[in-house]
């Protein structure tokens, strides 16, 4: 039925339009048409229902151009409701099933769903599952990732996670709930085998064993790359067994209780009790035995004011230069006499002999032109002396010999010389004086060159 137009006349209330009854009749007819509309004989709109009138026809809502079909609140088959951006099932405990046809996919923007596979179809795009607010994405029961799985938030696995290849974590990522205590105090760091080895290697590399030898040399062993070796030296060997290093000495090393022969050894200030010397013993320098010292060709005593005594054992005698000395003292004024076979004995001489004289000799070297002392004797003990003097001047190859007599009166000394003064010019002039209670024999060299004086003297008592 076509829409009916109300005739309202030319002017208000001019009586030319429809009567009130006729106008209301048209209005009722228009309302009936609105409530029961048939569009193109295929669609009928009755009250709030749009119905296809042709058998098995679809109802298509097609906008024009870029326009859209806008439906504020849509319920499909009384079970599915579309409100705003929500699709919900109104039937209690019912599933919402979206199903494509054949090999087609369900496509939501750039995410496709086919059978049991969810994938992204944007080039090189990640497939992200993101919960809202403090919510979480939960994958329930037997979840398998056959390709790469990237988790930007927290991944919680309540069952057993099995990885067929490898697990890659971003730098700084933490794993909660694993604490083997291998790398420190953190309870959230997951330590791999390689990380543990790297850490241990770094610790070992940074450590070394410091030690020092007897000469204070500081040494160290890198525990990561070096080995400590125990090496022996002269007379010392080392051996290892298990965790024990044994250091031993061989037969060339002398021990406290062993019996060894020492060869080419120097003992500095040793204390040797009851030694036995075999063969020929050589001492370099000096040898001190108790209070007797032997140095070069001199045997001396080092005890204060002590005599040097040579004593034979039993009936043996003391032999010096093949001369055998008597083993006991003689009587007063006796002298030693040889029998011509090296045996010395005591002999008695006439009374008075050697009572007032003393025989001695000496040597002295003088240089320069000033008077030098050749010899002296005590004026209070000896009155006179007779000298025989031999002289040698090596610079000028000259020799001489003189005898001279010296006497004194307590305040002055006097000298008279005889003999050969020199093989050339006179070598010296002899004088005498008294100085500090001693009578001195003086010589003044003629040449000033070094001259050696060797003399023998006989002193006569006061």
Two tokens, residue 172:
């700084």
Residue 194's pLDDT band, with cuts at 50, 70 and 90, is low
Express as a percent the part of the chain with pLDDT over 70.
83
Residues 6+ apart with CB under 8 A from 32: none
Two tokens, residue 56:
């098995």
**Residue given tokens 């054992």 in the structure block:** 313
**What is 357-461's CATH number, 3.40.190.80, 2.40.400.10, 3.10.310.30, 2.60.40.1680?**
2.60.40.1680
The model's pLDDT over 171-186, given as tens digits with 9 standing for 90+, comes to 766 666 555 555 655 6
What is the total residue count of the chain?
462
CA distance 400 to 423: 6
- For the cut 60, the answer to whether the pLDDT of residue 359 exceeds it is yes
SS3 of residue 24 by DSSP: helix
The model's pLDDT over 31-88, given as tens digits with 9 standing for 90+, comes to 766 665 555 667 777 767 788 888 888 888 888 999 888 887 777 777 888 787 788 8
154 C-beta neighbours (distance < 10 Å), count = 9
The model's pLDDT over 267-297, given as tens digits with 9 standing for 90+, comes to 788 888 887 777 777 777 788 888 899 888 8
Residues 6+ apart with CB under 8 A from 83: 73, 74
Residue ranges covered by each domain of the chain: 357-461
CA distances from 174 to 135, 139, 144, 235, 254 (A): 20, 20, 22, 62, 68
> Is residue 359 within 8 Å of 460, Cβ to Cβ?
no
- Select the more confidently predicted residue: 424 or 272: 272
350 sits in the region (left: phi over 0; alpha: psi -120 to 50; else beta) called: beta
Two tokens, residue 375:
């010899």
Residue 333's pLDDT band, with cuts at 50, 70 and 90, is low
Single out the residue of 103, 123, 141 nearest to residue 113, CA to CA: 103
The model's pLDDT over 383-407, given as tens digits with 9 standing for 90+, comes to 999 999 999 999 988 999 999 999 9
- For the cut 50, the answer to whether the pLDDT of residue 351 exceeds it is no
Reported as type and span, the H/E element at residue 396 is: none
- Phi first, then psi: give them for residue 107, nearest 5 degrees: -115, 125
Residues 6+ apart with CB under 8 A from 177: none
Q: How far apart are the first and last CA of the chain?
A: 197
**Average pLDDT value for residue range 255-268:** 80
SS3 of residue 23 by DSSP: helix
């Amino acid at each position: 039925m076509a829409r009916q137009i109300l005739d309202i006349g030319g002017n208000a209330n001019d009586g030319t339009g429809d009567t009130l009854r006729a106008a209301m009749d048209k209005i009722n007819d228009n309302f009936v048409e609105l409530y029961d509309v048939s569009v193109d004989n295929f669609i009928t709109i009755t009250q709030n229902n749009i119905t296809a009138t042709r058998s098995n026809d679809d109802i298509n809502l097609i906008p024009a151009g870029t326009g859209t079909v806008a439906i504020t609140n849509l319920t499909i088959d009384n079970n599915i409701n579309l409100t705003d951006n929500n699709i919900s099932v109104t039937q209690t405990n019912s599933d919402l099933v979206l199903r494509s046809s054949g090999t087609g996919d369900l496509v939501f923007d750039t995410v496709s769903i086919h059978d049991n596979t969810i994938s992204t179809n944007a080039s090189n795009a990640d497939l992200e599952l993101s919960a809202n607010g403090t919510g979480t994405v939960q994958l329930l029961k037997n979840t398998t990732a056959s390709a790469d799985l990237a988790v930007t938030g927290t991944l919680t696995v309540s069952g057993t996670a099995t990885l067929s290849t490898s697990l890659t974590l971003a730098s700084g990522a933490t794993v909660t709930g694993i604490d083997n205590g291998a790398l420190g105090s953190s309870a959230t760091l997951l330590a791999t085998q390689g990380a543990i080895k790297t850490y241990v290697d770094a610790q070992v590399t940074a450590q070394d064993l410091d030690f020092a030898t007897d000469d204070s040399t500081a040494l160290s062993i890198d525990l990561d790359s070096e080995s400590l070796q125990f090496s022996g030296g002269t007379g010392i060997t080392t051996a290892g067994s298990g965790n024990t290093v044994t250091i031993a000495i061989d037969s060339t090393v002398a021990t406290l209780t062993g019996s060894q022969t020492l060869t080419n050894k120097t003992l500095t200030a040793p204390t040797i009790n009851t030694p036995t010397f075999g063969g020929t013993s050589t001492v370099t320098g000096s040898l001190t035995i108790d209070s007797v010292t032997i140095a070069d060709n001199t045997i001396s005593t080092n005890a204060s004011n002590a005599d040097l005594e040579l004593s034979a054992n039993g009936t043996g005698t003391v032999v010096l230069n093949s001369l055998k000395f008597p083993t006991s003292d003689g009587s007063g004024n006796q002298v030693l006499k040889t029998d011509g076979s090296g045996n010395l004995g005591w002999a008695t001489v006439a009374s008075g002999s050697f009572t007032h004289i003393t025989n001695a000799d000496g040597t002295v070297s003088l240089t320069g032109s000033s008077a030098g002392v050749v010899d002296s004797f005590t004026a209070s003990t000896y009155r006179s002396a007779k000298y025989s003097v031999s002289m040698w001047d090596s610079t000028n190859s000259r020799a001489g010999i003189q005898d001279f007599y010296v006497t004194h009166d307590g305040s002055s000394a006097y000298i008279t010389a005889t003999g050969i003064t020199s093989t050339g010019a006179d070598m010296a002039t002899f004088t005498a004086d008294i100085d500090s209670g001693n009578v001195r024999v003086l010589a003044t060299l003629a040449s000033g060159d070094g001259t050696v004086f060797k003399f023998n003297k006989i002193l006569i008592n006061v």
